[in-house]
Amino acid sequence: MDSMDLTGKVAIVTGGSQGIGKAIALALAGAGADIAIISRLPETVDMGTERMHLPADPVIGEIGERGRKAVGILADVREPEQVRAMVGQVKDEFGHVDILVNNAGATWGETFRMGQLLEMGAQDFRECLRLNLESFFHVSSAVAPLMLEQGSGAILNMASGSGQGASPGNGLYGAAKAGVISLTLTMAQEWAPAIRVNAIAPGTIAHADRAAVHPYAPPGSRGATAIPLGRTGDAVDIAGAALYLVSDAASYTTGTVIDINGGRR
């Protein structure tokens, strides 16, 4: 059997209706997995800027065309009660959970901004952490007991190059993603050998679902001139590594962070 064959596996992908999450969901479905797409509705702008929130139905349709089953579930991964209800719904629908991809996150949103540290306030920091770090804990903690009970599972956390060093102009997100990396390493230690836990740290990724104009990025900040491979990444560049890490091809890989950044340092 192909070590990257996911036939019979069930995967939860948070933020799976668009961007990197969508690409990962389609890649896992293409390898044979059934998919639960987790997304949420837009919220009222409090402090930040409205983001794009795409519905799950188009992705569910594409997964169906690949011959796999998919469900879309509305849940706010920042809210533990909604997370527990979502995981219960997935278990009721499919009977088990084999793969979790913690992908939902953002550098800015309706409730927090992106910018220099002295321009940020307590709400910016709190809300950035809720979305980009606390949610990973909530979802993983709800799924891990199921995986431990069945004796197997794979969790993939979406980190970022911003969490691997200084991140001027994006320091709150960088701090949150540094936390994701640390949390990944601890999960891998505490939940072994039943559950493998790894992370991907993307560099600059451009995709069709990204806002046409980033409201906070300074001009030229997303250019490819500083990237040795000469281009920004694409969501499918992340999806290939994701498929590897959650498959049996990576059966001896846990507590690892894979950089996908075109060689940028």
The pLDDT score that the predictor gives to residue 136 is: 98
**Within the chain, what is the greatest distance between any pair of CA atoms?**
54
The pLDDT score that the predictor gives to residue 162 is: 94
The pLDDT score that the predictor gives to residue 206 is: 79
Tell me which of 173, 216, 244, 252 is the catalytic residue.
173
The pLDDT score that the predictor gives to residue 208 is: 56
Is there a domain that residue 123 lies in?
Answer: yes
Is there a domain that residue 265 lies in?
Answer: no
The CA distance from 49 to 108, in Å, is 7
The pLDDT score that the predictor gives to residue 222 is: 53
**Which CATH number belongs to the domain containing residue 175 in this structure?**
3.40.50.720
Is there a domain that residue 235 lies in?
Answer: yes
Give the mean model confidence (pLDDT) for residues 25-53: 92
* Bigger pLDDT: 48 vs 174: 174
The single residue listed with the structure tokens 């069709």 is: 208
Please name the residue ranges forming H helices in the chain: 19-30, 57-65, 80-94, 122-129, 135-150, 171-190, 235-246
Known catalytic residue at 216? no
At residue 104 the predicted structure's pLDDT band, cuts being 50, 70 and 90, is very high
Residue 252 is part of which domain span? 10-260
The pLDDT score that the predictor gives to residue 11 is: 98
The pLDDT score that the predictor gives to residue 202 is: 95
At residue 256 the predicted structure's pLDDT band, cuts being 50, 70 and 90, is very high
The pLDDT score that the predictor gives to residue 16 is: 97
pLDDT digits (tens, 9 = 90+) for 128-185: 999 999 999 999 999 999 999 999 999 999 999 999 999 999 999 999 999 999 999 9
Side chain identity, residue 128? C
The pLDDT score that the predictor gives to residue 1 is: 52
Is there a domain that residue 218 lies in?
Answer: yes
CB 203 within 8 A of CB 233: yes
**Secondary structure of residue 155 in the 3-state scheme:** strand
Give the mean model confidence (pLDDT) for residues 46-57: 87
At residue 89 the predicted structure's pLDDT band, cuts being 50, 70 and 90, is very high
Is there a domain that residue 5 lies in?
Answer: no
For the chain, what is the domain count? Answer: 1
Does residue 264 have a pLDDT over 90?
Answer: no
**Average pLDDT value over all residues in the chain:** 93
Is there a domain that residue 3 lies in?
Answer: no
Is there a domain that residue 2 lies in?
Answer: no
Distances (CA, A) of 76 to 65, 73, 86, 105: 27, 10, 9, 11
Q: Residue 20, exposed/middle/buried by CB under 10 A (0-12, 13-18, 19+)?
A: buried
Is there a domain that residue 4 lies in?
Answer: no
